[in-house]
Every structure is written in C-alpha cells, then in structure tokens.
Amino acid sequence: MSGPTVALRGILGLCLAALYSALVGADPSADIKALADVTVSRLEAFPEVTMSISGLEFIPEASPAPQLGPIDQALGVFQEVLGQMLAHEPAGQVLNDVENLRSLLQRRASALGCALDTPSSQVDQGQLQALLADSAFSVVTATFNRLRGLLRFLIGHMDEVQSC
C-alpha cells in the first residue's frame, strides 16, 4: 500500500473510534429529559388533582433529592405499581417509559463512575390490588399525578444531578 492510503485509513480509523466513543460514552441527560417530557405528555389525559388516598403512602409524593439513587428508587416504585395497572391506559406505555428512564439513569450513573443499587420491593402488592379493586380510577389518577410530578422534577433538575 502507498503512504497516503495508509495515512487516510489511519485517520479514518481514528475518526470512527472517536465517534464510537463519543456515542457510547455520551451523557444521557438530554435523553432522560426528553423521555420524561414525552411521558408527561402521555399522562396529560388524566386530570391534575390533589387527592389523598389512604393506603398509597408507598408511592412517592414529594420530589426526591437531586441524586440518581433516590430518583431511581422512586421510579422503581412507580415501575412496580404500573405493572399492576396494565389494564388502565396508558399504563403499559408509561411502564415502558419508566423502564427506559431507569436504564438511562443507569447509564448516567456509569458515566459518573458509580452504580445504582437495586432496592427491594416497597410495594405491598396485596394492598395495591385491593385498592385497585375498590377505586381503580382514583388510584390510577393519584399514581399518574405523582409520577408526573417526579418527571417534571427530573426535567427541571437533571442537569444538577452530579452524584448517585
């Protein structure tokens, strides 16, 4: 091979390697905010009401600390609850969004050089099933409202999150 061809291939190889590392190691914060925004849009069909339902104390109501661990833990609770609400639209798609958000948070944690713990279940499945049987619309609405609040927090504070 001639010198210019080898040099061109070398430069091309370096460019491809740089592009690959930029894509793989890219900070997923923008993706997290975009997916959270899409999910909030999916939840717009449900009214924003403040309601207190006895028995839903395990579903996060307040915004967590702006750290990946507490945010992931709160999303984990929503993931469990949404898994029991699949008969109610758009719970199935929102569940997929939450799972994808948690995956993106894992990538963000890796980029920060830390790992997120997988928390144990905080949801009393029997209690949740009983509440869904008694007042499904209220439980679904309260869950979606609380999730919407968490996602809005995430959209507004993702750039501040610099630790696990």
Q: What is the mean pLDDT of each run of 10 residues along the chain (164 residues)?
A: 43 39 66 95 82 79 84 92 86 94 93 82 83 88 92 91 84
Summary count for the chain: helices (H), strands (E): 5, 0
Q: Give the domain ranges of the chain.
A: 27-160
Cα(114)–Cα(69) distance, integer angstroms: 10
Confidence (pLDDT) at 96: 96
With a CB cutoff of 8 Å and minimum separation 6, the contacts of 26 are none
Q: What is the pLDDT of residue 85?
A: 87
Rounded-to-integer distance, Cα 47 and Cα 154, Å: 20
CA gap 46, 149 in Å, rounded: 13
> What class has domain 27-160?
mainly alpha
Q: Is 100 helix (H, G, I), strand (E, B) or coil?
A: helix
**Confidence (pTM):** 0.79
